[in-house]
Amino acid sequence: MITRSTDVNSVRKLLQKMSPPFALVPTMGALHEGHLELIRKARQKVGSSGTVIVSIFVNPIQFDKASDLENYPQPLSTDLALCERAGADLAFTPPKESLYHADHSVLIRESLLTKHLCGATRPGHFDGVLTVVLKLFNIFQPNYAIFGQKDFQQLALIQRMARDLNLSTTVIGHPTVRAPDGLALSSRNTHLTASERADAPRIHRALCAARDISHTGEQNPSIYLEVARKHLLMNPLESFTIDYLELVDAETLQPTPSVTKPSFLATACFYGKVRLIDHIVIPS
């Protein structure tokens, strides 16, 4: 049976009774099959005798819109049942007050990888992400931390933070989990209308269409972007808009002048107020 804790001091005492190695899966709840794959990956890393920890915390300081925070789904009892079914040993579900003092004033900020993509369109978002992840790393001192590659910019930032701050946790990315029609799994998908959900696979199809031209040896980034944009805007629903569409170097996350090494073609799109992200690797 899964153990649950809501308090930092209490969870540290619990950890003293649990067996290393430790693997952490940080989440904001509203779990889906993608999250469960991360938990299963964590179990693989620590084996049957290690400890898998799942944090469920809707982090208020990473939301750039108050309405997004207010509307974020929090089906805690369902999430706990899913964690247990996937093989987690410990669930950490703290209230805001357990992680943030009322007058908290220290944030973690990254200055290079956040200049484009979601970092450019959601100011302050990644400051909140890095701050809460570092808190969780400090609390649990995990040997491993597992994150989904769907949020590839987030993963890159956390790996950079671990490198630059000499953290002992190994940060591991897990491939994007998709529905049969190609849509990347996300808790935000539940907010789509039926017609929007049926239309949303256009995002992955557009990225795949652009990737396919790499077989011709094309190196001009504008060609990839043009193909992807054409497919994204091919008879879309009225509620559909593009937030950004960028082709960036897979290592630096800066716009690439020429596709001569692996790159990420990434987009964020809206259906009304529902924001979906996805990306695909463009091989060199």
Residue where a domain terminates, one of 144, 174, 204: 174
Residue where a domain terminates, one of 174, 206, 233: 174
Could you identify the residue written with the tokens 């309405």?
A: 67
pLDDT value, residue 253: 97
pLDDT value, residue 121: 95
Reply yes or no: is the peptide bond before residue 255 cis, omega within 30 of 0.
no
Q: Three-class SS string for 76-101? A: HHHHHHHHHHHCCCEEECCCHHHHCC
Specify if 182 maps to a domain: no
pLDDT value, residue 64: 84
Catalytic residue, chosen from 35, 125, 191, 204, is 35
Q: What is the CATH number of the domain that holds 139?
A: 3.40.50.620
Same domain, 133 and 227: no
pLDDT value, residue 70: 86
Strand segments, DSSP code E, in 69-176 are: 90-92, 144-148, 170-174
Examine the residue annotation and report whether 35 is marked as an active-site residue of this protein. Answer: yes
Give how far the C-alpha of residue 242 lies from the chain's centroid of Cα atoms, to the nearest Å: 19
Q: What is the CATH number of the domain that holds 257?
A: 3.30.1300.10
Residue where a domain terminates, one of 122, 149, 174: 174
pLDDT value, residue 23: 98
- Tens place of pLDDT per residue across the chain (284 aa): 999 999 999 999 999 999 999 999 999 999 999 999 999 999 999 999 999 999 999 999 999 888 888 888 899 999 999 999 999 999 999 999 999 999 999 999 999 999 999 999 999 999 999 999 999 999 999 999 999 999 999 999 999 999 999 999 999 999 999 999 999 999 999 999 999 999 999 999 999 999 999 999 999 999 999 999 999 999 999 999 999 999 999 999 999 999 999 999 999 999 999 999 999 999 98
Helix, strand or coil for residue 241? strand
User: Which residue range is the domain that position 103 belongs to?
Assistant: 3-174
pLDDT value, residue 284: 86
Count of structural domains within the chain? 2
pLDDT value, residue 186: 97
pLDDT value, residue 264: 98
